[in-house]
Amino acid sequence: MDAPEQPQIYLVTPPSIDLDVFPDRLAQVLDGAEIACIRLALAGTNEDSVARAADTLREVAHARDVAIVIADHLLMAQRLGLDGVHLSDASRSVRAARKELGADAIVGSFCGTSRHDGMTAGEAGADYVAFGPVTGSALGDGSVAETELFEWWSQMIEIPVVAEGGLTEEVVRTLAPHTDFFGIGTEIWSADNPLAALSRLTGAMG
């Protein structure tokens, strides 16, 4: 994923999806907005259900020329014809993933709030680094990726950066000059009209 001139949208699936409903909701968003990439981020490790979801959503994404990566299931990415992997263990698995998937695959790394982990992931071959949450969240230890982190990264590091976790219109407005991608998931999927919810967020980019 190359760094865009203005932030692009990186869609993150809900942790649990209904395959009778969600593919159509995803297609509606892809047809109504410009999406750079999709992350299949299912909770749970049941390989059959993850594989079924990956097969279905890959068809929706690739029919629209949108890349799709999977969270952490490195071997599945290869087996299911996905475009890459999003690693959630900071920088630890990046080198192995790059070696396994090859130069053309997308390899991303979630690094929480750690500038050091981000730089290490970049040196190991990550295509992008994600920081978050960007607002207070009940998840994790309560730490937040501050605006200063994104400002510093965008000035000093060439590797694209993703802001994710607790995005609001106000935060989008603040971070838009300093991030390459917004990772948007739960912020829109809980809405009756995900595309409208996404439009409200992207409208805050200015």
- Per CATH, the number for 8-203 is 3.20.20.70
Residue range 84-137, pLDDT digits in tens: 999 999 999 999 999 999 999 999 999 999 999 999 999 999 999 999 999 976
Q: What is the torsional sign of CA 123, 124, 128, 134?
A: negative
What is the residue extent of each domain of the chain?
A: 8-203
pTM as predicted: 0.95
Residue range 13-70, pLDDT digits in tens: 999 999 999 999 999 999 999 999 999 999 977 899 999 999 999 999 999 999 999 9
CA distance 10 to 12: 7
Residue 139 has pLDDT above 60, yes or no: no
pLDDT of residue 3: 62
Tell me the two tokens of residue 165. Answer: 């976790």
3-class SS of residue 162? strand
* Burial track 13-37 (b if 16+ CB lie within 10 A, e otherwise): bbeebeeeebbebbbebbeebebbb
